[in-house]
Structure 1
Amino acid sequence: MAIKKNYAGVDGPLSDGNLTIMVVPSAEIEAVADVTAALLNGASAVDITYDLTTDGYQHTPGNEEITQNRLTRPYEKKRQGKQTDTLQLQYGYDPETGEGETQADTVLVTGAKVHVIERRGVDHETDFAAGDKIKIYPGEVGRKTDDPPVAAAEFTRSVAILLDGEVTDETVLTAGA
Structure 2
Amino acid sequence: MPAETVPASTQSDGKWRITTVPIGSNALSVAILNGATSKPITYGLTADGWNYSKTQATVEDKRLTLIANLARPGKTTETWEVKCVESAVADTADAIFSALAISGATIQLNVRRAVDNATTHTIGQIADIHTVVVGTRRPQAPVENGVDTVAYTLYPVLPTVNGGVLVA
The answer, yes or no, to whether TM exceeds 0.5 is: yes
Aligned twin of 2:65: 72
Superposition CA RMSD, Å: 1.9
Tell me the distance in 2 between the aligned counterparts of 1:134 and 1:17.
Answer: 16
Question: 1:149–1:158: structure 2 CA closer, same or farther, 3 Å change rule?
Answer: same
Aligned twin of 2:156: 163
Amino acid across the alignment from 1:3: A
State the TM-score, normalizing by the size of structure 2: 0.87
Aligned twin of 1:58: 51
* Percent identity between the two aligned chains: 28
Query: Shift in Å at residue 144 of structure 1?
Result: 1.0
Amino acid across the alignment from 2:21: V
| Unmatched tracts of structure 1, length 5 or more | none
State the TM-score, normalizing by the size of structure 1: 0.83
2:147 aligned with 1:154: yes
Aligned twin of 1:43: 36
TM-superposition CA deviations, 1:54-73 (whole Å, max 9, x none): 00011101122211112222
How many residues are matched?
163
Query: Shift in Å at residue 11 of structure 1?
Result: 3.4
Amino acid across the alignment from 1:12: S
Tell me the distance in 2 between the aligned counterparts of 1:80 and 1:19.
Answer: 30
Structure 2 SS opposite 1:38: helix
Aligned twin of 2:75: 82
Question: 1:153–1:102: structure 2 CA closer, same or farther, 3 Å change rule?
Answer: farther
Q: Work out which of the residue numbers 13, 17, 22 in structure 2 matches 1:20.
A: 17
| Unmatched tracts of structure 2, length 5 or more | none
Structure 1 SS opposite 2:24: helix
Aligned twin of 1:3: 3
Aligned twin of 1:107: 96
Tell me the distance in 1 between the aligned counterparts of 2:65 and 2:164.
Answer: 42
Query: Shift in Å at residue 102 of structure 1?
Result: 5.6
Query: Shift in Å at residue 171 of structure 1?
Result: 1.3
Structure 2 SS opposite 1:134: strand
Query: Shift in Å at residue 27 of structure 1?
Result: 3.0
Amino acid across the alignment from 1:104: A
